[in-house]
Chain A
Amino acid sequence: MSLRPFTLILIAIGAAIAPALGTAAEAPQLPAVDFDRQIAPLLVSRCLECHSGLDPDGGLSLIDAAAAAKGGESGPALEPGKTESLLWQRVEGDEMPPEHPLPPAEKALLRAWLEAGSPWGQTPLDPLAFSTEKRAGRDWWSLQPLRETPLPDTALDPWARGPIDAWVLERLGASGLAPSRPADPKILIRRLFIDLIGLPPSPEQVDAFMADPSDVAWAGLVDELLASPHYGERWGRHWLDIVRYTESEGFEYDHPRDRAWHYRDYVIRSFNNDKPYDRFMQEQLAGDVLEPVTSDGIIATSMLVCGAWDRAGNAQANATQRANTREEEMEDMISVVGQTFLGLTLNCARCHRHKFDPVPQEDYFRIKAVFDGVKHGERPITSPVEIAVREREAAARTEAIAAERTTIADLEREGARRAAQRSHNRVAFPPGPAPLIRWTFRDGAQPAGGKLHGGAEIVAGRLRLHKETQSSFESDPIPESIREKTLEAWVVLSDLDQGGGAAISIETSADRDFDALVFGERQPRKWIAGSGGFVRTHDLEAPPETSPAGQPIHMAAVYRADNSITLYRNGERYAPPYVPAAGLRTFEKGGATVLLGLRHHGAGNGFLDGEILQAALHATALDDAQVAATFRAGGFAFSKGEILACLDDAQRASHAGATARIDGLKKEAEASAATAELSYVGVRVEPPPTALLHRGSVTSPGAIMTPAGLSSITAVNADLGLTPEAPEAERRKRFAAWIADPANPLPARVIANRIWQYHFGRGLVATPSDFGLNGGRPSHPELLDSLAGELVRGGWRLKPLHRAILLSSTYRQASTHDETAAAIDADTILLWRYPPRRLEAEVVRDAMLAVSGELNPAVGGPSFRPFTTTSFNATFYHPVDRDDPQYNRRTVYRMNVNSGKEPLLDAFDCPSPSVKTPTRGETITPLQALALMNNSFVQRQADRLAGRALEAAGGELTVAIDRAYELALGRRATAEERHRAVTAAQARGLASVCWALLNSSEFLYVQ
């Protein structure tokens, strides 16, 4: 009777309709009609699917008398005293319900009601109140409170060690099945190790358990493994599957997320510490706002955003399409929350009421309102206390750097003065063409015609710009309108590997369009004519910048009326002219400014690190000769080297000392920033009120929705006491409390089922992220509720649940196949044996490393990257196999990117990280065999296993073969196997035998 809740519902509905139908069929006179008992269920199950809700079909709602009388597009459905109403005509003519006309008996019932004057009972009718064949209602099994059922008599059977065994045995007995014998200890210990920590036991561990396979030893082993740090690595990986954890952004660019791994460590840590599951849930929903705020809490909320993200879609110009991108993002977030914690596909209610489950569209948008302030991106993950400490340290460093810079600046001023004195005999070139404006800089004075910003300063007659202080110069608005133009600047780059900063830019104030001389933005070490949206930008066929850092360079960009653009470097053409797609921009008088050191306002990476010696804006397009002249006239021939050469030794030493100290301080700052300051936890905004979108369309906004929980879980109040304008933090905090309310039956059922699933390969509910109508029904409903109830009573700790499962007789059965039992239950749903299963991709790889002795057990931290990357706007990943300890860490620490498929893992069904994967696939393919046969990683582990075995055996081949068997399979070779292996090893080396062991079914499966 596993279908009990569902069956009862069907019976209830059947009972409501059937007696009346019977009467109608047999008796000539019409039955007395009871609206609540007979007509309401009929309307709900036959009509309200379409004719209710916000946007009913044909505009007709049938939820109450008034709505039916008002009717829809075709007129009133019911009219007082009129039996032959429109409703009846449509039903009688089999037009309605479409494709599924009412059976005669139901028609008769409806007719009787109409003839009785269509009296309504309790209204409005709730289309989601009852489950029908086609949809789950509020009475759906998984939404009901957890039930405690007294244990069945099988609890007294000696086989039953506890409630789990009692329920399993009862179901087996009812189907004429019996449990299998206990598994062999060596099979059992390998099963336990793979299952709990994802690594095989060592031969010594196997021997010890073989020597004492008692219940006490077993329980001890279970506790030992639950306490192992590898437990979190194994079970954390399961969780990461469910929440679609990915370390690259997917979509067009698929850029790596270098700082996403903190969440992976958080998950592993939480499992290892047996963090109460209610807390674990709340942290992932709202940890950044739950007092006291901790780093862990902030990191936990990565869960909301750790999936794929459409960077291009968010950046594009078309507002409607951008809004669509955001809606897709929200659906991803809402679906991960719904599926992970509630086992409900809330996302299916985005465009209309959920087709199968009792989730009205309003609920989708209420929950969307909860998360509307969560956006993708990186954010500091330090707690407020830590932030204060860091800020103090950073301020001290900034002060120290400023002091050192003053020292340097004074020395360089002196050097420049001396250099100028010495150079009085230089050839003076005639002045170049006069610009509209020229900016020069004099020490000790505010620059004329504009203002310094950020940490910009004037040293030795130069504008000095520091990227980290966001320094720039902005001119006054330009005094006349400019169409043709030349931008010109003498610039010193302090670092040739910087990118994105501009020497000079002209920018409109209104729409922030700009033309600029930009360094290293799209291609390393190259200059481009930057522009708003790159519309006037081309990548240029030009050599990378070769002038050493510190050497002044003269750059000019000429924009001609024919729309061509030419860049010049040191008076010569930098690349051939080109004509961009977009036309020449006019910069209006008073409506534009010139920026030095900044590409455009709002460009995070737009700051230049270096110096501007002089800059000019010409209102004409200079020709080649004029550009050459202006270069020669600049006369800025002093390189930093020349300036320093004019100082004495002591001054130079002092200059070098100050420079070195600044470098040290900068490194400190970098190191401090690198210690986990940022992570991909998403950013937060206070969102505008959330509107329901009709049919999910961003162009059809409806009513404003209040953040709330799910209305169909009646045991917990879905009203969170919020207003549509409630603060973002408060929304998630209260929603998290609603999820974790012990009266909310779904989270406990869902997680208990998941734990069961990973132990047995299949959940008591076979669809672990879907407990709705489309999902599976529990095979052992009383057991599921008993596990869930025990979990909540035990303070939501998962380790006791593991323990209960692992100590059961059910878990400790043999996995041997049985023809008779399989004929009754081929998929082992009732657990007449322990179902054997293949190792997951990560376990295959980890187990190979473990048996070869190469596993690097380092825990946590940045992911290892078994690939190289290339970049062409998008990032491309190219898997590589390297023989290096850092790559021999457990696979959970591998950087899990979207498009860089690793052949071995891929062949073993490692899922795409952006897909929410509650159950892993298990395919057997020729590509998998090819990977096992030829992959260099597998070859190498086979070699190392051979070496390890031979060393342990002191070079004795037969002993080594036994050792290799013990390491790989947890048992010694049989005489026949040993004989074959010796022959093979003598002919082709022990590595051949080890390769076969790593390829063997026995190695790749748990029994």
Chain B
Amino acid sequence: MSNEFLPAAAQPVAPAPLVPRRHFLSSSSGSLASIALSWLLARESSATTPGRVPAGAGSGLHFPAKAKRVVQIFCSGGVSHLETFDHKPELERLDGKSLEGMGENLGFFGQPGMLMKSVYPFAKHGESGSWVSSLLPHLASCADDLCFIHSMVAKSNNHTPATFQMNSGFTLNGFPCMGAWLSYGLGTVNEDLPAFVVLPDPRGQPAGGSINWTSGFLPANHQGVAFRTDGVDPIADLRTPAGLSPADRVADLRLLETMNSDFARLHPGDTDFAARLRSYELAARMQVSIPEATSFDDEPAAVRELYGIDDPTNKGFSRNCLMARRLLERGVRFVQLFNGGSFGSPRINWDGHENMQENHDTQAATMDRPVAALIKDLKDRGMLDDTLVVWSTEFGRSPVTQGIGATGRDHHPKAFTCFLAGAGVKGGHHHGATDDVGYGVVEDEVTIPDFHATILHLLGIDHEKLTYYHNGVNRRLTDVHGRLIRGILS
């Protein structure tokens, strides 16, 4: 009866562990006593197997999940594929020559220049013999774990729309980000922490700030929770107000609980009221669990050293990488790390318009070692088997310089490289290829919807079935696109 007037598509269509989120805290329990009990049980399962999905949690998925959790590193500004992972010997020969006949200049500033060889030498690494430039020695040492996609294409040559596309599948404001879709689709493993945590670069937020981790039209509880990583409280309102003793706060909460329990008892069928009671329990637990998860006090010196926690050249990014590992370990479903802030001068992201070497040297010094450390650390802990690492950027950079005689490169959406690592993907693998100068894709083009569809697949989700009705459309992360990149699956 209750469904008769809803469009068919507005019925829950997400994978089964989901209950309409409005009731998520009270889905299985009628009485207050059982809430407390289920809470204790949940606590047991997460306490005994930290960072692991309780058995059976994947039972409602479309496919068996290879990945249980995701960490995405997003490098703001547009990392040059030609200076990092896409080795183009032919470009050395053509250095200084015209692009004519190979394609039009797609740059943002429209100042054509001449072809420019990579400013860094490349070498083969690992058993796979993967080409990586000298810019990224630490990531090069992980080459056998990385699955490169050299044939990425983006829709826009403009930072923010392209960033939105990588995050949400759409080039516009207001579409739910991948982390929000996963929170909606998979729920949370550890209710003491948010399902989707964002760690902005310590140097500054990306352009658009919180628009980048919005839940869009999905319920607000799926939006990314941005943790501050500068030493103050990670999230707003986490701390009990100064001047209120813990004992007094407990007494206050007890008074409130009595009020709310009385009210819930008067309205037995309305589960919201029971859910509210539970939300305070969880809030109180978050006051403990978030500081615990974000403190490095118990990290051994070797781990701190691995990430370079005390190395100032990474500008605090290593802290975010280590924090990401701690959050993943504790059951956060999706952690998104931004490497690079917004656009301006001096540059604090990968937007090397003026001088590739100067720019990429500076940015790589923040990113290379910490991200490599994160991959190694996950591997050491056996977590790489069921954690998917996604390394991404919004687009590549043009094989020609930005202006004659210049040393920078403009934006280039027609070809760029991203890599995946960990759960369910081949290591030391290279998918797709660009032409001789890295201008366009000549083999196995991968669009961002394809990329997203594949990530969802690894998590056990059919991207065509994870939908949410909004203003006339059953929206998907992949819109009406998306093909699985089968070649990279292990």
Check if B472 sits within 8 Å of A931, measured CB to CB.
no
A-B contacts, 6 of them at CB < 8 A, read: A582-B111, A582-B404, A583-B404, A817-B268, A874-B209, A921-B219
Question: Does B118 sit at the interface, judged by CB under 8 A?
Answer: no
Complex CA–CA separation, A977 to B2 (angstroms):
37
Q: In residues 263-309 of chain B, which contact A (Cβ within 8 Å)?
A: 263-264, 267-270, 272-273, 275-276, 279-280, 282-283, 285-287
User: In the complex, what's the smallest C-beta–C-beta distance from B321 to chain A, in angstroms?
Assistant: 23
Check if A899 sits within 8 Å of B354, measured CB to CB.
no
User: In the complex, what's the smallest C-beta–C-beta distance from B191 to chain A, in angstroms?
Assistant: 7
Check if B256 sits within 8 Å of A996, measured CB to CB.
yes
Check if A251 sits within 8 Å of B173, measured CB to CB.
yes
Would you give the 0/1 interface string for B203-217, flagging 1 where the beta carbon is closer than 8 Å to chain A? 011011111001011
Complex CA–CA separation, A318 to B61 (angstroms):
43
Ranked 4 nearest A-B pairs via Cβ: A317-B110, A345-B472, A899-B209, A817-B269
Asked if A826 meets B2 with Cβ closer than 8 Å, knowing A930-B238, A980-B258, A1001-B263, the reply is yes
Binds A, one of B337-345, B372-380, B453-461: B337-345
Question: Does B93 sit at the interface, judged by CB under 8 A?
Answer: no
User: In the complex, what's the smallest C-beta–C-beta distance from B51 to chain A, in angstroms?
Assistant: 20
With CB as the reference atom, state the residue of chain B lying closest to A879. Answer: B236
User: In the complex, what's the smallest C-beta–C-beta distance from A922 to chain B, in angstroms?
Assistant: 6
**A779 — which chain B residues lie within 8 A by C-beta?**
5
Would you give the 0/1 interface string for A749-785, flagging 1 where the beta carbon is closer than 8 Å to chain B? 0000000000000000111011011111111000000
Complex CA–CA separation, A251 to B240 (angstroms):
35
Complex CA–CA separation, A770 to B471 (angstroms):
6
**A251 — which chain B residues lie within 8 A by C-beta?**
160-161, 173, 207-208, 211
With CB as the reference atom, state the residue of chain A lying closest to B356. Answer: A581
**A776 — which chain B residues lie within 8 A by C-beta?**
5-7, 10
Question: Does A935 sit at the interface, judged by CB under 8 A?
Answer: yes
Check if B2 sits within 8 Å of A825, measured CB to CB.
yes
**B279 — which chain A residues lie within 8 A by C-beta?**
924-926, 928-929
- Residue count of chain A within 8 Å CB distance of chain B: 122
**B472 — which chain A residues lie within 8 A by C-beta?**
339, 344-345, 348, 356-357, 767, 769-770, 772, 774-775
Interface centre among A522, A770, A904 (most CB of B within 10 A): A770
Question: Does B241 sit at the interface, judged by CB under 8 A?
Answer: yes
Question: Does B227 sit at the interface, judged by CB under 8 A?
Answer: no
Would you give the 0/1 interface string for A346-385, flagging 1 where the beta carbon is closer than 8 Å to chain B? 0010000000110000000000000000000000000000
Name the one of B280, B285, B342 contacting A873, with C-beta atoms under 8 angstroms. B342
**B471 — which chain A residues lie within 8 A by C-beta?**
335, 339, 345, 767, 769-770, 916, 918
Name the one of B207, B223, B402 contacting A581, with C-beta atoms under 8 angstroms. B402
Complex CA–CA separation, A584 to B383 (angstroms):
53
Check if A766 sits within 8 Å of B204, measured CB to CB.
no
Name the one of B268, B273, B282 contacting A926, with C-beta atoms under 8 angstroms. B282
Q: In residues 142-195 of chain A, which contact B (Cβ within 8 Å)?
A: 175
**B216 — which chain A residues lie within 8 A by C-beta?**
912, 915
Question: Does A624 sit at the interface, judged by CB under 8 A?
Answer: no
Question: Does B63 sit at the interface, judged by CB under 8 A?
Answer: no
Asked if A1001 meets B403 with Cβ closer than 8 Å, knowing A2-B4, A930-B238, A930-B286, the reply is no
User: In the complex, what's the smallest C-beta–C-beta distance from A57 to chain B, in angstroms?
Assistant: 15
**B280 — which chain A residues lie within 8 A by C-beta?**
929, 933
Q: In residues 241-272 of chain A, which contact B (Cβ within 8 Å)?
A: 244, 250-254
Name the prevailing secondary structure of the B interface residues: loop
**A766 — which chain B residues lie within 8 A by C-beta?**
5-6, 10
Check if B402 sits within 8 Å of A984, measured CB to CB.
no
Contacts A357-B472, A877-B209, A907-B220 known; 19 new A-B pairs at CB < 8 A: A252-B158, A252-B159, A313-B161, A773-B7, A774-B473, A777-B4, A817-B270, A826-B1, A872-B341, A873-B343, A873-B344, A898-B173, A903-B236, A924-B24, A926-B283, A930-B286, A933-B240, A936-B241, A988-B251
Question: Does A987 sit at the interface, judged by CB under 8 A?
Answer: yes
Check if A308 sits within 8 Å of B174, measured CB to CB.
yes
Question: Does B391 sit at the interface, judged by CB under 8 A?
Answer: no
Check if A538 sits within 8 Å of B286, measured CB to CB.
no
Check if A876 sits within 8 Å of B240, measured CB to CB.
no
Complex CA–CA separation, A1001 to B274 (angstroms):
10
User: In the complex, what's the smallest C-beta–C-beta distance from B116 to chain A, in angstroms?
Assistant: 11
User: In the complex, what's the smallest C-beta–C-beta distance from B244 to chain A, in angstroms?
Assistant: 9
With CB as the reference atom, state the residue of chain A lying closest to B21. Answer: A923
Question: Does A202 sit at the interface, judged by CB under 8 A?
Answer: no
Check if A533 sits within 8 Å of B237, measured CB to CB.
no
Would you give the 0/1 interface string for A902-918, flagging 1 where the beta carbon is closer than 8 Å to chain B? 01101101111011111
Complex CA–CA separation, A939 to B159 (angstroms):
41
Question: Does A212 sit at the interface, judged by CB under 8 A?
Answer: no
Question: Does A498 sit at the interface, judged by CB under 8 A?
Answer: no
Complex CA–CA separation, A921 to B354 (angstroms):
45
Question: Does A995 sit at the interface, judged by CB under 8 A?
Answer: yes
Check if B107 sits within 8 Å of A318, measured CB to CB.
yes
**A921 — which chain B residues lie within 8 A by C-beta?**
22, 219-220
Complex CA–CA separation, A773 to B469 (angstroms):
12
Binds A, one of B145-153, B405-413, B420-428: B405-413
User: In the complex, what's the smallest C-beta–C-beta distance from A65 to chain B, in angstroms?
Assistant: 33
- Residue count of chain B within 8 Å CB distance of chain A: 102
With CB as the reference atom, state the residue of chain B lying closest to A314. Answer: B158
With CB as the reference atom, state the residue of chain A lying closest to B275. Answer: A924
Would you give the 0/1 interface string for B3-16, flagging 1 where the beta carbon is closer than 8 Å to chain A? 01111011000000
Check if A836 sits within 8 Å of B267, measured CB to CB.
yes
Check if B473 sits within 8 Å of A348, measured CB to CB.
yes
Q: In residues 502-554 of chain A, which contact B (Cβ within 8 Å)?
A: 522, 533, 535, 538-539
User: In the complex, what's the smallest C-beta–C-beta distance from B457 to chain A, in angstroms?
Assistant: 21
Complex CA–CA separation, A912 to B343 (angstroms):
23
**A399 — which chain B residues lie within 8 A by C-beta?**
none
Name the one of A328, A819, A928, A992 contacting B172, with C-beta atoms under 8 angstroms. A328
**A829 — which chain B residues lie within 8 A by C-beta?**
1-2, 4-5
Interface centre among B161, B216, B240, B346 (most CB of A within 10 A): B161
Check if A312 sits within 8 Å of B158, measured CB to CB.
yes
Would you give the 0/1 interface string for A329-341, flagging 1 where the beta carbon is closer than 8 Å to chain B? 0001001000100
Check if A899 sits within 8 Å of B211, measured CB to CB.
yes
User: In the complex, what's the smallest C-beta–C-beta distance from B403 to chain A, in angstroms?
Assistant: 4
Asked if A253 meets B259 with Cβ closer than 8 Å, knowing A312-B158, A317-B109, the reply is no
**B182 — which chain A residues lie within 8 A by C-beta?**
none
Q: In residues 794-847 of chain A, which contact B (Cβ within 8 Å)?
A: 816-819, 822, 824-827, 829, 836, 838
Complex CA–CA separation, A934 to B104 (angstroms):
56
Complex CA–CA separation, A826 to B194 (angstroms):
30
Question: Does A714 sit at the interface, judged by CB under 8 A?
Answer: no
**A1001 — which chain B residues lie within 8 A by C-beta?**
259-260, 263-264, 272-273, 276
Complex CA–CA separation, A647 to B253 (angstroms):
76
User: In the complex, what's the smallest C-beta–C-beta distance from B354 to chain A, in angstroms?
Assistant: 4
Complex CA–CA separation, A818 to B269 (angstroms):
7
Complex CA–CA separation, A981 to B287 (angstroms):
26
Check if A899 sits within 8 Å of B208, measured CB to CB.
yes
Interface centre among A344, A904, A914 (most CB of B within 10 A): A914
Check if A996 sits within 8 Å of B109, measured CB to CB.
no
Check if B255 sits within 8 Å of A825, measured CB to CB.
no
With CB as the reference atom, state the residue of chain B lying closest to A317. Answer: B110
Complex CA–CA separation, A184 to B191 (angstroms):
38
User: In the complex, what's the smallest C-beta–C-beta distance from B148 to chain A, in angstroms?
Assistant: 27
With CB as the reference atom, state the residue of chain A lying closest to B194. Answer: A927
Check if A1000 sits within 8 Å of B208, measured CB to CB.
no
Question: Does B127 sit at the interface, judged by CB under 8 A?
Answer: no
User: In the complex, what's the smallest C-beta–C-beta distance from A183 to chain B, in angstroms?
Assistant: 14
Interface centre among A307, A539, A930, A984 (most CB of B within 10 A): A930
